[in-house]
Every structure is written in C-alpha cells, then in structure tokens.
Amino acid sequence: MGRVGLALVLAVAALWLPPGAAALDLDVREVAPGTWALIGRTEDLSPANGGNIANAGFIATPEGVVVIDTSASKTLGEAWRAAIEARTRAPIVRVFNTHLHPDHILGNQAFPAATLATLPATRQSMREVGEAFNDNLYRMVGEAMKGTHVVVPQAAAQAELLELGGHRIRILAMQGHSAADLVVFDETTGVLFTGDLVFWQRAPTTPHADLARWRESLEALSALPFKQLVPGHGPVLTDRRGIDMTRRWIDWLEATFIEAAGAGLDMSELLAAPLPAEWAALPLAGSEYRRSVAHLYPAIERRVLSSPTGP
C-alpha cells in the first residue's frame, strides 16, 4: 500500500475511534516486514500523556495477527487496535500480555476476550492486584482512564513455538522484572519483543523485581540471534545495548543498596544520595531510583544485617 493509500486508511480508521482516541498520535513504526512496534513516551504516567508510556507490537501474517501488549487504558487499547487494523486485514488471533504491569495490560478490553493470553502467574497477579493498579492509574492519569477495567486473559500461555502464516514465533517464559515475564521472538524476521525485561534510554522500574532471576533472563535474551529488539520502554534496538544497560542498572542498584546497608544507612539517607555520573542524565533515573529504594532496600537491608558474617 502506498503512502497516500495508507494515510487514507488511517484517516477513515480515526473516524471510528472512541472520543479522544484520535488525538493520541500513537507512534507506530514498522520494524520488519509485517511487524510493527508502538513506541510509548519516555515519561512518567500523567494526564498529559494519557498513560501512553509503554511499548507494544504486532506481527501480521497471512493467517492472523499476534499482538504483544495492549497499552494502559480502554481508550489507548482501542486506538492501538485501530492502528493494527489500519495496517492489516488479517484477523487478530492472539494477544499476549508480557507481564502484570498496568501500562501494558489495561487496554485488554479493546481486544476479543478469546484472543487474550498470558503466563499463569501473570493471570493470578492480575486477579489479585489488577483493579488496584487500575485505581492507581486513575489517580495518576485522570480522565483518559475513563471506562477502563481489568480483563484477565482467559488463556494461560506457555513456552512454545507457534507456526503461523509462514512465521516461527517462539514464546519464552522468563521472570525477574516480575514473577512471570513473557517474551515473543519471531525467528523468521529476527524481531524480539522483551517486555520490561529490557529498558533502553530510560531507567528500569522495579516494583516486583527479583534481581537474580532478572540477570538470568537477560543472559538468556543476550544469547538469542535477534536482529531487532523492541524493549518494554525506549527506542527499538539492533544490538544488545538495552540488555547491557538494564543489567548495569540493576547491578548498580544492588551493589549500592548492599553497601548502604553495611554502612548502616537508613532509607532517608539513601534517598538523599546523588546519582553517579553514569546515571545522572538517564531519563527518569531520579524518580525510578527513589522508587527502587522503597521497592528493594528493605529486603536487601534485612539480608545484609542478618548475615552471619555481619555487614
């Protein structure tokens, strides 16, 4: 389809979007033939961005479309689905949620319920805390969340190889950023969708992180023969810089917190510490560092102080 034809299709699709969705100006980019990524903004959640801060993607094959994540609200999910349907006539056959965080899953209600799937631990977490996440996003984002509610996938995903329309799409079950992190690797095109196991040009988030398992997952991702990597947040990559940056960040956090616990620092003292030069200019580093102190320091402090050999 030529540019003029695509522009016409997008204009027509916009007429069918819910109120406010047409103005979202989603950044949707083709990263391989028939494979597209939605690139969220490198910002904290706010009314100004309507929650549009996370990446998503889709793989269009002649036999159907595989979608990776649905964004942060009903409105965003509907806009994302309209963007997909403007680019392919193939039906949506599977929609994967990579993990439980709300900026990736609260657009689920815009997609056919029977197509939704995620790892079993993510389904359980969504049942337990999904509505609390939804309420929190209402407080942070405001009216853009109107009409949004949690839709837990009916299907439990698993590690497997999907052969669909000439594509070999490998589903990988990992963990570390959360208790269950689903990864989609299209072996045919070489495009790897990592969810929030990988961040690039943005500080990683850690509310449910297990740093040891996260490192194991990053090592496994690094060994894959990908050509394009779509991280959970940040620009698309053609190399392993995002994997390496994410690893350095979590290594630095853990080392910093262990050293602080050994020195007897409390959380307020740790919060007041300046960021090192390597991280000072990284977008959202300050806010994510402060959140990570709350997320990770108490457990690391207990571990260090309870060690038989002492701090």
What is the residue whose two structure tokens read 């402060």? 290
Residue numbers of the domain that contains 186: 3-240
Indicate whether 26 belongs to any domain: yes
Q: What are phi and psi of 101, to 5 degrees?
A: -70, 140
pLDDT of residue 261: 97
Indicate whether 163 belongs to any domain: yes
Indicate whether 30 belongs to any domain: yes
Indicate whether 135 belongs to any domain: yes
User: Which SS3 state, helix, strand or coil, does residue 150 take?
Assistant: coil
Are the beta carbons of 221 and 192 closer than 8 angstroms? yes
Pair of tokens at residue 108? 């689920």
Are the beta carbons of 186 and 194 closer than 8 angstroms? no
Kindly give the pairing relationship between strand 155-156 and strand 167-174.
Answer: unpaired
CATH number of domain containing 59: 3.60.15.10
Indicate whether 192 belongs to any domain: yes
pLDDT of residue 123: 97
Indicate whether 87 belongs to any domain: yes
Closest CA to 251 of 219, 221, 273, 226: 219
User: Which SS3 state, helix, strand or coil, does residue 233 take?
Assistant: strand
Residues of 162-188 as b/e, b for ≥16 C-beta within 10 angstroms? Answer: bebbebebebbbbbbbbbbbbbbbbeb
Between the two ends of the chain, the Cα-to-Cα distance in Å is: 64
What is the residue whose two structure tokens read 């706010």? 46
Rounded Cα distance between 170 and 163, Å, is: 9
Interacting residues of 19 by C-beta distance below 8 A, sequence separation 6+: none
What is the residue whose two structure tokens read 């103005």? 23
Pair of tokens at residue 126? 């969504």
Rounded Cα distance between 178 and 172, Å, is: 14
Are the beta carbons of 40 and 216 closer than 8 angstroms? no
**pLDDT tens per residue across span 225-234:** 999 999 999 9
Pair of tokens at residue 208? 């449910």
Rounded Cα distance between 208 and 133, Å, is: 13
Closest CA to 168 of 147, 149, 148, 190: 190
Indicate whether 249 belongs to any domain: no
- What is the pTM (predicted TM-score) of this model? 0.91
Rounded Cα distance between 272 and 292, Å, is: 13
HEC sequence for 53-64 = CCCEEEEEECCE
* Spans of the chain below 70 pLDDT: 1-24, 309-311
pLDDT of residue 190: 98
Indicate whether 224 belongs to any domain: yes
pLDDT of residue 308: 75
User: Which SS3 state, helix, strand or coil, does residue 245 take?
Assistant: helix
Ordered DSSP codes for 78-145: HHHHHHHHTT--SPEEEEE--SS-HHHHTTGGGS-GGGEEE-HHHHHHHHHHHHHHHHHHHHHHGGGG
Q: How many domains does the chain have?
A: 1
pLDDT of residue 25: 83
pLDDT of residue 24: 66
Are the beta carbons of 101 and 133 closer than 8 angstroms? yes
User: Which SS3 state, helix, strand or coil, does residue 237 take?
Assistant: strand
